[in-house]
Amino acid sequence: MHIDHIGIAVKNIDDAVKTYEKILNTSCYKREVVEGEKVDTAFFQTGESKVELLGGTAPDSVINTFIDKRGEGIHHVAFKVDDIQEEMSRLKREGFKLLNDEPKPGADNKLVAFLHPKGNHGVLVELCQSVKK
């Protein structure tokens, strides 16, 4: 496993893209809306890892709910895995609570699953596996 990306919740994704283009001195390489999660995403490559900006597309999106409770900031840390089903099973056996029973489609051509932050010292952990095209 290695860090695939860090997800950052933002109120205005267009403004945040401009900010992170300046900070990282590179352009956003991909924008994508994940309809099922009601989220607009923007990605930046930073070495082997990425920064993912997350903006809600509806008032009831998980991102807007997060921002309402905690404000803008780091939303999750995502770890790339080779076999998401196996990692989910392993982590269940280790006693971790998963927020979804099966992997679901995520942004950037990935299958994703999340571990509840209460079992991870307050950090929402995402597992992600690249989908073969």
List phi, psi (to 5°) of 75. -100, -45
Average pLDDT estimate for 18-24: 97
- On whether the CB atoms of residues 109 and 133 are closer than 8 A, the answer is yes
Average pLDDT of the chain is 95
Per-residue pLDDT of 23-76, as tens digits, reads 999 999 999 999 989 999 999 999 999 999 999 999 999 999 999 999 999 999
Average pLDDT estimate for 92-99: 96
Q: Own/partner pairs for 40-47, CB < 8 Å, 24+ apart?
A: 40/13, 41/107, 41/108, 42/13, 42/16, 42/17, 43/5, 43/107, 43/108, 44/20
Per-residue pLDDT of 25-39, as tens digits, reads 999 999 999 998 999
Domains of the chain: 6-130 (3.10.180.10)
Average pLDDT estimate for 4-31: 97
